[in-house]
Structure 1
């Protein structure tokens, strides 16, 4: 019997990379999706192959249906199945609300929210027929409580939360669990616009007195994908060190 398969969007860096590594360690067949970060994706793929992990690479802009459809079909053709989808791909931008352009808004909604719609819809063509599957969406604490100077990002991530809850209700009878992880402030490239003083302030305002790591989020994803989480659906789990309670 073949091992379970996971498809992770935006898997070349940060949370996506850590999540791919965690699933590979669990013996999953892993499809690494990337779009622009080819060098990082290839390096991750090579590291997996050295460890004799079952892994494939696929370049796709997950905000475009034709590319998403091709990616899902590739995954099923190569691995014979698809058990877990992790909708992780996304961007962020810090900008005053009055300065957000139409292009900024459209790009944020398309990449951070529409991609979740497209990938989930396409993967369900397989999951519904097999009466089994798990969809795990990566949102943000800012989708829960909003962030100043990140209105479009907060809006998109709040949309991911709403999509998760509604889709979980719809897919429950098909034995498909849909859950959402809303990370707190995590040490990734998304913090590059902040200086060290601001980052230290984030740590000081977190009850656990540290920022999160991509591995913290990856471990939560592994749990939601496991059989131990089979009775959990439509939930928003927020590993944030107590930053939002």
Structure 2
């Protein structure tokens, strides 16, 4: 198809046909030129021929896109280099404010992005939404890493679950230890209560003994009084006899 197109164009040029320029400058319903179509489809021979015959390398379609943008969008590094060498504007923007660098970054064409930067593409240029090429590149890297990120998250969740199990075990051990300590404290308290009871019993026994001693002393006092009474009676008897 490339050869047919070029040969057909040569015949038109040689014949001086009036439709020559009309054909090469023809646009489709979206304003796209032959140069744009060739750039998107990686048609190097047609691009070279069109440029040699004065076609505008920076022509734009109805959306503001250029042949360079189409080449970057399609991932055709060799075409990008050819167009930039022929004067393509690396910082031209479409109606959304996007540059060829942004489109390449958005589609993950890293080698083309590097080439455009080498050719002077502005890394800090912003589109109508305030996005730069670096932001688009970061977004692509993030999305491409999505599967592995999810896998890592699942592994992390498993590890967290295992850690939770370990924490539960530690918690149970601590509860058991605390429970055992409480039991020991309770037993000690009961022992202390038993000791207190024993002490009270000892004190009661001592009190009982003291009471018994007091009773004995009281009885002895009563006996002494009885003896005194007997003595007095004896004396009275003696007086009577006298």
- TM-score by length of structure 1 reads 0.25
More helix by share: 2
**Larger RCO (CA within 8 A; separation ≥ 6):** 1
Q: From the CA coordinates, give the structure whose radius of gyration is larger.
A: 2
More strand by share: 1
- TM-score by length of structure 2 reads 0.25
